[in-house]
Amino acid sequence: MLERKVVSPEYMFFEAPREKKYLIGNEAVAEAVKRANVDMVISYPITPQSEATHIVGDIYAQGYVKDYYRGEDEFNVMSAMAGAAMGGVRAFTATSGPGTLRAFEMFPCWAGERLPIVCAFMTRGVNSPLTIQPDNIEIGWLADTGMLIFHAEDPQDFFDMILQAYVIAEQPDVHLPVGVCADGFFVTHTREIVELTPEDEMLPPYDPSVSPVVTMDMETVPVRHMKDPFVMKSNYISYNTHASWQQEVRAAAERARKYITRYMGSPVEVVHPGAEILFMASGTAAAQARVAMERMRAEGIDIGLVKIKVIRPFPEKEITELAEVPRIIIIPEHNITGWLARDIKSRVNNNAKIYGGPRVFGGMTMPPEMLVEETKKLLLNLVTA
């Protein structure tokens, strides 16, 4: 193990020299975990995530992570992650599709307990019929858990977002779990250039003393305290406690916005914002839309792209403002439900100009040619109409 030094998040994100490496997404995850100064990792195998936590296991063996084990199933892994975070350490895990669903009861619990856990979701389709293929239907479900949700476009995003996630999650006025999502296979198994910060520099350690909720270590006053509102008392106070706590979790997510701006620049990336047609997309759909946009612009079509990096808290202000200008908004997605289109349509005035689609799922790819063709078809239909 290298001798390492602690650096500030600001230095690491904006000033540290970057070295180019040719990595798949799962390798980029392990590189991020190494630099994130993570105390404990708990793993469980599932495709396409497994490789990431194999490599994290290797860096544990080298001494970069202090504790690591394979849990018995995803629900219990996420439960043990909660125990670790309640005990005041920085914890990491990762899962995919069916694993996400197996574990699901824990995600609102993490948010309710105000645990700053970072979990990577290498998204995948869910049964049935059996699939192990890329599909990000699970992000739509995760979006209502109270967790912050980021969506990576490529291995570079995956590396950066995991590091940014810890810094944002652990702010005392946020202190919420973050799900960093990336489309399985398309990101996890694709090799790209990733610019890494120096291997011997890591984030400052987690300080549980700044947590807005008590760390469960018997080092603070233990009287009549429980990491749970007193819901078992069936009375007005208990109902009110639960209701106000739910709102506080959402308010904490709102407070994350200023840190998202500080550490991620913006929750959205905008290319040609004044264009007549806009793609709005996240994850690898944004990557494919970027290529399609360039091809169409070369043909003289006035089209731009809004890449949505942060799914929760939803960048409402940015999206509603950006949606004012174009005549047509197209939302390509890697799932059948169209959760991103639903999110955007429910917030934008005059949403008749929003086209939710095209959508691919169950492992199908989204070639830029298809996006170009579908966009042109849409334009032609509008002209003939």
Judged by the rule CB under 8 A, the positions of this chain that interact with other proteins are 39-40, 42, 66-67, 69, 71-73, 75-77, 79-89, 91, 105-106, 109, 113, 208, 214, 216-228, 230, 232
Structure tokens at 40: 């404990």
**Is the separation of the CB atoms in 211 and 293 below 8 Å?**
no
DSSP 88-148: T--EEEEE-HHHHHHTTTHHHHHHHHT---EEEEEE---SSS---S---HHHHHHTTSS-E
> What gap in Å lies between CA 62 and CA 68, rounded to an integer?
12
What length does the chain have? 385
Q: Are strands 118-123 and 178-183 parallel, antiparallel or unpaired?
A: parallel
Could you check whether the bond before residue 346 is cis, i.e. omega within 30 degrees of 0?
Answer: no
Q: Which residue, 90 or 312, is less far from other proteins as judged by CB?
A: 90
Q: Which residue, 83 or 368, is less far from other proteins as judged by CB?
A: 83
CB of 217 to other proteins, least distance (A): 6
Q: Which residue, 65 or 168, is less far from other proteins as judged by CB?
A: 65
Q: Which residue, 79 or 188, is less far from other proteins as judged by CB?
A: 79
Structure tokens at 181: 């999502």
> What gap in Å lies between CA 338 and CA 279, rounded to an integer?
14
Q: Which residue, 109 or 291, is less far from other proteins as judged by CB?
A: 109
CB of 91 to other proteins, least distance (A): 7
CB of 37 to other proteins, least distance (A): 12
Burial of 217 per CB tally in 10 Å (0-12, 13-18, 19+): exposed
CB of 128 to other proteins, least distance (A): 23
Scored b (16 or more CB within 10 A) or e, 18-27 reads eeebebbbbb
Q: Which residue, 91 or 287, is less far from other proteins as judged by CB?
A: 91
Q: Which residue, 110 or 314, is less far from other proteins as judged by CB?
A: 110
CB of 76 to other proteins, least distance (A): 4
Structure tokens at 129: 């019929």
CB of 323 to other proteins, least distance (A): 39
CB of 373 to other proteins, least distance (A): 47
